[in-house]
Amino acid sequence: MEPVMHQVWPRVLQRLRRTLILSKRNHSGCAEHTAVPASTHSRHIRPTLLVSRIYQPTSLRDVGQESRQGEMTCKSQRLMQQAGLIHPSNPGCYYYLPATVRSMEKLVRVIDQEMHGIGGQKLDMPSLCSADLWKTSERWDLMGKELLRLKDRHGVDYCLGPTHEEAVTTLVAHQAHLSYKQLPLLLYQITRKFRDEPKPRFGLLRGREFYMKDMYSFDVSEEAAYQTYESVCQAYTRLFARLGLRCVQVQADTGNIGGKLSHEFQLPADIGEDRLLVCGDCSFSANVETMSSDRTDCPQCKTGTLVESRGIEVGHTFYLGKKYSQVFNATFSNAQNKPSVAEMGCYGLGVTRILAAAIEVMSTEEGIRWPGLLAPYQVCVLPPKKGSKMDEVAVLADNLVHTLGEALPGLRGEVVLDDRTQMTIGKRLKDASRLGYPYVIVVGQGALEETPRFEVICQQTGETMFLGQDGLLDLLGRVETV
């Protein structure tokens, strides 16, 4: 990092000084500026990401008025709507606005990295699922009113898939010559899912339409299937650790998915709808629905006491056995070249729910705090208020946005300029806090000194630092992006 800093920064400062000199001449009425070719201002100029151009409310204080506060049933929903990250459509359905889409795409990249790391292959299956498949698995009636059903013009029944066990098993069953050498097979997708919630609430935490990562595994034996199951659980644990989220893996009911074994991944939170029993002496934890709610002794270590808490379910894993593969005849050729029914597992992650749950557990009441990897933008640069006789600093702030991207490739496209200079620094700082940029750089008079200094606010910790050019690049050079 240091060689890059020392190579780039002097060149950038020289360019900034030239810009400032031209600016001074323009303001002083010198005729010399006319000698500068017009193309000088248009060549090699990269567009600056401007807060005023991001499609979201321009003033966070004008959003979430009292008449709508009754609809805000949890902190993450209120903060996301006030910040212009989501906008309600139908009950349980939301528009995901540009900043949220950026955040979600980053989360998808992290998920892809972890799934590819254990051999996952990404595909995309139809959301419109044939009722015949669901009737074959006997889940058409089992799912009840949660299944969003519809008929086409020919009167044929379909559903909008909340999950895809039937579809993926049928897909694999159609492969006539699947060999045991090709297993384990791990197929996953990240798509919209649909569930007819009776009472949608908590914003993205419980909606009717949402994004989910669902993976399905096919193995040669029960032992191999358990190994795959464990590798996926470990990948989930790594994923949440990378996001800086404390996640608890708990024993859970298999529900209408079915199978022999199930675990939930829960983020502890008071707003959570799941009741958890956690032992204080060992690693045991379970959803209360899997055991007696009044039990206090730990079934694993026998000495610990179970304490009840609440959590938000953000992931769920199931060992299915042959529940679906037997029904749909998903077979492979074993070592003896005989057909054998595959052992299956399925593994879900609530993509949009992870975003909302992270905001729920990490944020303050006044402002969003993102997991560092998922922040829509990593840095916000604040120039001084317009008319404050600091036009030179404003030019410097604009160039700083490009400088950071040039010196730190990981920050390209991650730095925005809050160009709403009709507002005071204080008001823009408040907005930056509510939007949750991990780092806010206030460019003031100190940036014009022979040894420039910048005020840097770390939103996650609340710490304010005054850094020189090397210190600034060193700090931001440690920011991890995906």
Cis amide linkage into residue 184, ω under 30° from 0: yes
CA 207, CA 194: separation in Å to the nearest integer? 8
Using 50, 70 and 90 to split pLDDT, how confident is the model at 60?
Answer: low
CA 208, CA 199: separation in Å to the nearest integer? 9
- Give the DSSP per-residue string, 123-159: ----SEEEHHHHHHTTHHHHTGGGSEEEE-TT--EEE
List 262's β-bridge partners, or say none: 318
Prediction pTM value = 0.89
255-296 tens-digit pLDDT: 878 778 999 999 999 999 999 999 989 989 999 998 887 888
Task: Look at residue 394 in the predicted model and tell me its pLDDT.
Answer: 85
What is the pLDDT averaged over residues 72-85? 90
Asked if residues 431 and 425 have their Cβ atoms less than 8 Å apart, the reply is no
Q: What are the angstrom distances between the C-alpha of 318 and each of 136, 264, 345, 421?
A: 20, 9, 6, 53
List 311's β-bridge partners, or say none: 268, 274
104-121 tens-digit pLDDT: 999 999 999 999 999 999
423-451 tens-digit pLDDT: 999 999 999 999 999 999 999 988 888 88
Q: Which ranges in 333-373 belong to alpha helices (H)?
A: 351-362
CA 436, CA 380: separation in Å to the nearest integer? 10
- Domains of the chain plus CATH, in order, are 75-362 (3.30.930.10), 377-478 (3.40.50.800)
300-316 tens-digit pLDDT: 999 999 999 999 999 99
pLDDT above 80 (res 31) = no
CA 402, CA 408: separation in Å to the nearest integer? 10
CA 6, CA 81: separation in Å to the nearest integer? 43
